[in-house]
């Protein structure tokens, strides 16, 4: 099967915001406790953070991380997590029916993020609390000194403010499961007033208002219109969340969800444009896709367990074992973000460690990379620069969620600083090799610098685990040729490729 494609040096989508490759971590399950933090573990540093996990995190070069939730944040008292550890209260976390010991709070997390060289993106509680708590939190985090909350931070040993720019105005406030769930207008008003207060303290803050929890919500996309009409001029981003799965064991339909996500982004773009026009506003609002990942392997089982358990501390929860099919999907989804990077400025893989995560760590045991770690790493390392338009002319298929899905899923990024064109390519075909013929206009001197591949045919369900941490890993690819301004060669069925061209 042949698939023709073309890129042109001057036909670009725009500069990619590197925060497209951000992550999310929540106080839930074993993400924080026995994920990144486990005093007493042989790999723990003086602060109790796991060095083995930190090394895997650093290799992802994550630009920003959203914290501390998620559903958790909607009943969280941030003050419980500051001051002497022995005085911190144990609380019941209503979101995940677990015990929160508060041994990690904002100052510990900031220390971890600093060592990992990741910028923090903090969420405020607009569920059980509101504007007052949010403004106190921002004052504690960002104000230098000479006020009650900033001096409290200093008394906790943190002299310098953190100067956090990115703030999320609550989490999934449209969801009836959310503690303090609200109607759209009610939430939009609260978000607007909170935004005003936060900007008073941090004028250059970048504020994220909650969009729908996913595109299947009954209030979607009306929620976005109503919320934005209340707060458009005071916010910078609207959040999108979406989790994916292949419950029906239909691989092509699963991969079609990449296109479905494109429609979701497009629809929210439409809502943004509508409100901007209606308000005659000058400012732009972009998309912050601040929760995305595969979540289905244990989802039903986990929902059942949560209802039954008796407030455990850091229980194993949402610990999905990802397979090669999931890795191919994640690669394709990241391609969609690159193709839509004119709208989507920030995106966060949800989550980072143990809970629906690319990194897993056993309590007292080893840490390893899941299959999805690799496409996320490739995009984060090599997806920085200018996104190029790619025209594709090749075979397509129809599935339940989308029609005319091209078997060839491709994204291209021109990294002019380092002199590379980086291509991320997925062949979604179940059984056919795609004979790629890609015209490289404006890159006459291109030569193949690197080709790595994850092949899935006959092994889609393979995973990594503590007993076989490297079973699934990208290998060197072969069979590609760059000649006369064209890249050509066969892409095996069900394969994902990183192709780097020196230009």
Question: Which residues are known catalytic residues?
Answer: 172, 291
Quick one: tokens of 182? 């609200």
* 493 forms part of the interface with ligand AHR (CB under 6 A): no
* 29 forms part of the interface with ligand AHR (CB under 6 A): no
* 171 forms part of the interface with ligand AHR (CB under 6 A): yes
Task: Pick the closer one to ligand AHR by CB: 317 or 423.
Answer: 317
Report how far residue 339's alpha carbon sits from residue 341's, in angstroms, rounded to the nearest whole number. Answer: 6
Cβ(388)–Cβ(501) below 8 Å: no
Task: Pick the closer one to ligand AHR by CB: 344 or 388.
Answer: 344
Task: Pick the closer one to ligand AHR by CB: 69 or 331.
Answer: 69
* 315 forms part of the interface with ligand AHR (CB under 6 A): no
Burial of residue 426 (CB within 10 Å: 0-12, 13-18, 19+) is: buried
Quick one: tokens of 290? 């601040």
Residue of 71, 212, 246, 323 that binds ligand AHR (CB under 6 A)? 71
Report how far residue 403's alpha carbon sits from residue 399's, in angstroms, rounded to the nearest whole number. Answer: 6
Q: How far is the CB of 291 from ligand AHR (least distance, A)?
A: 6
Task: Pick the closer one to ligand AHR by CB: 101 or 213.
Answer: 213
Residues in Cβ contact with 69 at an 8 Å cutoff, skipping those fewer than 6 apart: 26, 27, 28, 76, 95, 123, 171
Of 65-73, 195-203, 396-404, 466-474, the window that binds ligand AHR (rule: CB under 6 A) is 65-73
Three-class HEC string of 441-475: ECCCCCEEEEEEEEECCCCCCCECECCECCCCCCE
Residue 78 DSSP code? G
Of 66-74, 232-240, 261-269, 433-441, the window that binds ligand AHR (rule: CB under 6 A) is 66-74
Residue of 29, 35, 63, 70 that binds ligand AHR (CB under 6 A)? 70
Residues in Cβ contact with 331 at an 8 Å cutoff, skipping those fewer than 6 apart: 375, 378, 379, 424, 426, 454, 496
Cβ(458)–Cβ(30) below 8 Å: no
Task: Pick the closer one to ligand AHR by CB: 32 or 158.
Answer: 32
Quick one: tokens of 289? 């896709």
Q: Which of 167, 170, 247, 151 is nearest to 199 (CA)?
A: 167
Of 68-76, 246-254, 409-417, 449-457, the window that binds ligand AHR (rule: CB under 6 A) is 68-76
Task: Pick the closer one to ligand AHR by CB: 141 or 350.
Answer: 350
Residue of 351, 354, 380, 427 that binds ligand AHR (CB under 6 A)? 351
Q: Which residue is at the shortest CB distance from ligand AHR?
A: 70
* 256 forms part of the interface with ligand AHR (CB under 6 A): no
Run of H or E including 58: helix 51-58
* 34 forms part of the interface with ligand AHR (CB under 6 A): no
3-state secondary structure of 325: helix
* 100 forms part of the interface with ligand AHR (CB under 6 A): no
3-state secondary structure of 100: strand
Looking up tokens 């194993």, which residue turns up?
Answer: 316
Quick one: tokens of 441? 């206009």
Note the helical H segments in 158-291. 184-201, 222-231, 251-279
Cβ(331)–Cβ(51) below 8 Å: no
Q: Which of residues 290-309 bind ligand AHR (CB under 6 A)?
A: 291
* 172 forms part of the interface with ligand AHR (CB under 6 A): yes
Residue of 350, 379, 454, 482 that binds ligand AHR (CB under 6 A)? 350
Q: What share of the chain is helix, strand, coil (3-state, %, to 5)?
A: 30, 30, 40
Task: Pick the closer one to ligand AHR by CB: 150 or 171.
Answer: 171
Task: Pick the closer one to ligand AHR by CB: 121 or 350.
Answer: 350
* 22 forms part of the interface with ligand AHR (CB under 6 A): no
Binding mask 263-292 for ligand AHR (x = CB under 6 A): ----------------------------x-
Q: How far is the CB of 212 from ligand AHR (least distance, A)?
A: 11
With CB under 6 A, what is the number of residues at the site for ligand AHR?
10
* 224 forms part of the interface with ligand AHR (CB under 6 A): no
Report how far residue 398's alpha carbon sits from residue 54's, in angstroms, rounded to the nearest whole number. Answer: 42
Is the bond into 112 cis (omega within 30 degrees of 0)?
no
Q: How far is the CB of 123 from ligand AHR (least distance, A)?
A: 9
Q: How far is the CB of 130 from ligand AHR (least distance, A)?
A: 18
* 358 forms part of the interface with ligand AHR (CB under 6 A): no
* 98 forms part of the interface with ligand AHR (CB under 6 A): no
* 198 forms part of the interface with ligand AHR (CB under 6 A): no
Task: Pick the closer one to ligand AHR by CB: 26 or 326.
Answer: 26
- The angle at the Cα of 272, spanning 266 to 274, to the nearest 5 degrees, equals 105
Q: How far is the CB of 185 from ligand AHR (least distance, A)?
A: 21
Write out the residues near ligand AHR by the rule CB under 6 A.
26, 69-71, 171-172, 213, 291, 350-351
């Amino acid at each position: 099967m042949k698939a023709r494609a073309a890129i042109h040096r001057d036909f670009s989508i725009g500069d990619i915001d590197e925060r497209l490759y951000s992550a999310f971590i929540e106080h839930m399950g074993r993400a924080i406790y026995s994920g990144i933090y486990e005093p007493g573990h042989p790999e723990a540093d003086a602060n109790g953070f796991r060095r083995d996990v930190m090394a895997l995190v650093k290799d992802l070069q994550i630009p920003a991380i959203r914290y501390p939730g998620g559903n958790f944040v909607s009943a969280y008292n941030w003050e419980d997590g500051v001051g002497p550890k022995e005085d911190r209260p144990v609380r019941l976390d209503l979101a995940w029916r677990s015990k929160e010991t508060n041994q990690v709070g904002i100052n510990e997390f900031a220390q971890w993020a600093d060592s990992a060289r990741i910028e923090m993106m903090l969420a405020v509680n607009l569920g059980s609390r509101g504007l007052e708590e949010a403004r106190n939190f921002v004052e504690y985090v960002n104000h230098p000194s000479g006020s009650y909350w900033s001096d409290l931070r200093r008394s906790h040993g943190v002299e310098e403010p953190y100067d956090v720019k990115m703030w999320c105005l609550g989490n999934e406030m449209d969801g009836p499961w959310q503690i303090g769930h609200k109607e759209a207008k009610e939430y939009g008003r609260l978000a607007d007033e909170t935004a005003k207060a936060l900007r008073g303290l941090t004028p250059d803050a970048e504020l994220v208002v909650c969009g729908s929890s996913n595109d299947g919500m009954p209030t979607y996309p009306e929620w976005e219109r109503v919320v934005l009409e209340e707060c458009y001029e005071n916010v910078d981003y609207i959040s999108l969340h979406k989790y994916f799965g292949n419950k029906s064991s239909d691989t092509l339909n699963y991969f079609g969800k990449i296109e479905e996500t494109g429609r979701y982004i497009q629809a929210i773009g439409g809502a943004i444009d509508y409100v901007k026009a209606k308000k005659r506003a000058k400012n732009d609002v972009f998309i912050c896709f601040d929760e995305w990942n595969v979540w289905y392997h244990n989802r039903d089982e986990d929902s059942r367990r949560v209802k039954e358990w008796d407030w455990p501390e850091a229980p194993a929860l949402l610990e999905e074992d990802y397979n090669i099919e999931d890795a191919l999907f994640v690669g394709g989804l990241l391609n969609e973000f690159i193709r839509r990077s004119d709208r989507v400025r920030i995106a966060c893989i949800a989550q980072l460690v143990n809970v629906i995560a690319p990194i897993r760590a056993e309590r007292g045991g080893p840490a390893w990379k899941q299959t999805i770690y690799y496409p996320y790493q490739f995009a984060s390392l090599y997806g920085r620069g200018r996104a190029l338009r790619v025209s594709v002319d090749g075979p397509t298929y129809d599935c339940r969620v989308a029609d005319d899905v091209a078997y060839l899923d491709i994204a291209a990024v021109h990294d002019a600083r380092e002199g590379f064109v980086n291509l991320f390519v997925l062949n979604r075909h179940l059984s056919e090799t795609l004979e790629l013929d890609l015209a490289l206009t404006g890159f006459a001197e291109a030569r193949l610098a690197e080709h790595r591949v994850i092949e899935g045919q006959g092994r889609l369900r393979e995973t990594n685990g503590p007993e076989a941490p490297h079973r699934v890993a990208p290998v060197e690819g072969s069979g590609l040729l760059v000649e006369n301004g064209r890249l050509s060669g066969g892409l095996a069925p069900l394969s994902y490729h990183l192709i780097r061209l020196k230009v």
